[in-house]
Amino acid sequence: MSPLTTIAVRAARAAGDFLLRTGERLHELRVEMKGPNDFVSEADREAERRIVEIIHRAYPDHAILGEEGGAQGEVGSHGARWIIDPLDGTTNYLHDLPWYSVSIALEIKGRLEVGVVYDPVRNELFVAERGKGARLDDRRLRVSQHTKLAGAVIGTGFPFKSQRHLDAYTESFKAVSLAGCAIRRAGSAALDLAYVAAGRFDGFWELGLQPWDIAAGVLLIQEAGGVVTDIRGGDQLMKTGNVVGGNLRVHQALMDAVKPHLGPDLPA
């Protein structure tokens, strides 16, 4: 691993280990509501603080975009920006549901170079480096070879933070379901995308996500031989948060199922 990747892995493990320990006293955590069905706890904030501390100890001039801390620092001539979600799946975590993750990505001059998704419950570490492939621990990852929606397992998430997407999403959900696949809504988009890279899910789509939800997972899928785009097949997914991913054929099949149900005012 490169020094940058080593730092990302160290930070992800430190945050994940902290979350596991803190999960033993969930009843003591202070929890705030940021919006409808959108929670933040002191565990989220402390996990992010630990990630930032590790990154800035090694790279003090790097910028950071974090879910809980917002933007920190400016992207200088090095062009480096870390995109982090210290706890993707907060609602699951607060209910002691074992499906959450830590997501850390590094973007240099607008291009994703490192992506790490860590599942502390299963102690599974998904790592991608641009041009070097994606791995789960020591195993090389490849997206699934499934060729159609019928019989596929597809991950998704309801756009509970973006109610304006709800009608488009429910219609697309119906279309994908009628195509004969099994749909799974687990509650951590970062982990869902990692599962696409690992071939556990054949594909994934969701609307209204944030950069920290998807950055690491996007690179994982790309480096595992898959395709991930915005909902209309373009490259605006980091701006719009509307994402479709999978191997080449499943990605196209998902696009074909979903696109007819998107209104003209829905961004890509």
List the binding residues for Mg(2+): 67, 85, 87-88, 213
Q: What is the largest CA-CA distance in the chain?
A: 51
Work out whether the CA dihedral 202, 208, 214, 219 comes out positive or negative. Answer: positive
Contact 65, 83 (CB under 8 A): yes
Q: Where are the alpha helices (DSSP H) in 95-247?
A: 166-178, 189-197, 211-223, 237-240
Q: Where are the alpha helices (DSSP H) in the chain?
A: 3-22, 42-58, 90-94, 166-178, 189-197, 211-223, 237-240, 248-258
The position carrying tokens 């803190």 is 22
Contact 204, 251 (CB under 8 A): no
Binding-site positions: 67, 85, 87-88, 213
3-state SS assignment for residue 155 = strand
3-state SS assignment for residue 41 = strand
Contact 223, 111 (CB under 8 A): no
E-state strands within 37-149: 38-41, 63-66, 70-72, 80-88, 101-108, 111-119, 124-129, 133-136, 139-140
The tally of CA atoms less than 13 A away on the side-chain side of residue 72 is: 21
